[in-house]
Amino acid sequence: MIPLIKPFLPEKEILLPELEKILYSGYIAEGEAVYQFEDAVKKYIGNPYCLALNSGTAALHLALIIADVKSGDEVISTPMTAEPTNTSISAIDAKIIWGDVNLNNGLLDPDSVRSLINSKTKAIVVVHYAGMVCDMDEFNKLSQEFNIPIIEDAAHALGSKYNGKMVGNGQNVTIFSFQAIKHMTTVDGGILSVTNENALERTRRLRWFGLDKKKARLLNDITELGYKYAMNNVNATIGNVQMRFINSVIDKYISNGKFYDNALKSINGIELMAYNKNTEPSYWLYTLKVERREDFIKMLEANSVTASPLHHRNDTHSIFKTLKRDLPNMDIFYNSFVHIPCGWWVGNEDREYIVDLIKKGW
Ligand SMILES: *Cc1c(COP(=O)(O)O)cnc(C)c1O
């Protein structure tokens, strides 16, 4: 079976000696390995203000805090995502206002968001779902016009680009996840990418109970409640080794994605995604819309290829029942989208095999 998801881990001979070294080094909590990892990510995404955390969810929480979102405030978000995007908003008791999606790519629709903005709106969370980048031309305009911060959930979008630069390069607060199934994994982990030195220093304290690690414990005074969100040296060591391979791994996702973009055009029963202008996806999942989706999935599975919509639209969960709104585009998109394998493990023969199967019909 060709899977939809498969964690990339460097070879044993390369990874295990590094892990052994750190495990018995006497210093396994947040330390040098974490700061090295932050430096590597800073260089990769092109933003000096990055903080390594123990999950992408922790990064979302801190992103909402520095956007000054408080209990009762409204946050506009999308149901077309993994649950942590939205449980994080509920966790601080803010109210999620569901925006509708663009029918042609499933990403949050800026026009829908515009119609929902009011004096209670404190932040807009956009999700670069499956590695496709939201319409940032429009979202950045909205942010300026209404003076509302955008938080970019780039858990699926390591290596994606906007205007030729990496997502997360510092225009908006952005989060990444290194959870098991993402482009790159540290087993668990995340990055919070912020836009200035003050925000970096503030979140540095918030990741460690509100304590300032640069000061002696006895000289510390907690002035703002923080959390236990720091990455540790063990996860960071995995990250440091992973970063040696990041370009080739991401390139493989992108090469497969572009291959499908080309090979699957103009096939009956399939609609490819319309990527937003000035954006380049990193194809964490290859997304398409298909007619008779169940049959499509069955046909591929019968031929040892996994295909699935993967995510559950978030607005239908019981905890969000009272927030329900009509989302006509989401209803249509949700019933027709599907993902096919696209990652580093999909070889040239595999991707040709998958295209041939689809061309034969379902
Ligand atoms: C994985 C994921 C997260 C959260 O990341 P964790 O590291 O698992 O906490 C947030 N948003 C999206 C869209 C995700 O897929």
- The best mutation among 51, 80, 85 to test binding of ligand 1, ranked by most ligand atoms within 8 Å of the C-beta, falls on 85
Residues (pLDDT < 50) of the chain are none
Whole-number pLDDT of residue 146:
98
Whole-number pLDDT of residue 328:
98
Exposure on the CB side of residue 342, measured as CA atoms within 13 A: 28
Give the integer Cα–Cα distance in Å for 204 and 65.
13
Q: How remote is the CA of residue 270 from the centroid of ligand 1, in Å?
A: 28
Architecture of domain 246-360: Alpha-Beta Complex (3.90)
The atom of ligand 1 lying closest to the CA of 177 is: 7
Give the integer Cα–Cα distance in Å for 323 and 272.
31
Q: What is the DSSP letter of 132?
A: P
Give the integer Cα–Cα distance in Å for 314 and 128.
15
Are the C-beta atoms of residues 121 and 76 closer than 8 Å to each other? yes
Give the integer Cα–Cα distance in Å for 355 and 274.
19
Give the pairing of strands 286-290 and 337-340.
antiparallel
Whole-number pLDDT of residue 251:
98
The atom of ligand 1 lying closest to the CA of 59 is: 9
List, in order, residues 6 or more apart from 159 with CB less than 8 Å away.
Answer: 131, 166, 183, 246, 250, 253, 254, 282
Are the C-beta atoms of residues 154 and 6 closer than 8 Å to each other? no
- Integer CA distances (angstroms), 262 to 97, 266, 273, 280, in order: 36, 9, 12, 15
Q: What is the DSSP letter of 217?
A: G
The atom of ligand 1 lying closest to the CA of 84 is: 10
| Coarse DSSP helix, strand, coil percentages of the chain, rounded to the nearest 5 percent | 40, 15, 45
Structure tokens at 100: 């509708």
Give the integer Cα–Cα distance in Å for 214 and 353.
55
Give the integer Cα–Cα distance in Å for 46 and 168.
8
Domain chopping of the chain, boundaries: 12-242, 246-360
Are the C-beta atoms of residues 65 and 92 closer than 8 Å to each other? yes
Structure tokens at 46: 């092109």
Whole-number pLDDT of residue 138:
98
Whole-number pLDDT of residue 174:
98
DSSP per-residue codes, 124-178: EEEE-GGGPPP-HHHHHHHHHHHT--EEEE-TT-TT-EETTEETTSSSSEEEEE-
Helix/strand/coil for 51: strand
Q: Which of 250, 245, 252, 248 is nearest to 351 (CA)?
A: 252
Please tell me the residue having the least CA distance from ligand 1 atom 15: 82
When the candidates are 3.40.50.300, 1.10.3720.10, 3.30.365.10, 3.40.640.10, the CATH number that belongs to 12-242 is 3.40.640.10
Residues with CB under 6 A from ligand 1: 55-57, 81-82, 84-85, 127, 153, 155-156, 177, 179, 190
Whole-number pLDDT of residue 172:
98
Structure tokens at 120: 């209670």
Whole-number pLDDT of residue 354:
98
Whole-number pLDDT of residue 333:
98
- The best mutation among 77, 88, 101, 179 to test binding of ligand 1, ranked by most ligand atoms within 8 Å of the C-beta, falls on 179
Whole-number pLDDT of residue 198:
98
Q: Which of 83, 105, 61, 8 is nearest to 332 (CA)?
A: 105
Exposure on the CB side of residue 7, measured as CA atoms within 13 A: 14
Q: What is the 3-state secondary structure (H, E, C) of 242-264?
A: HCCCHHHHHHHHHHHHHHHHHHC
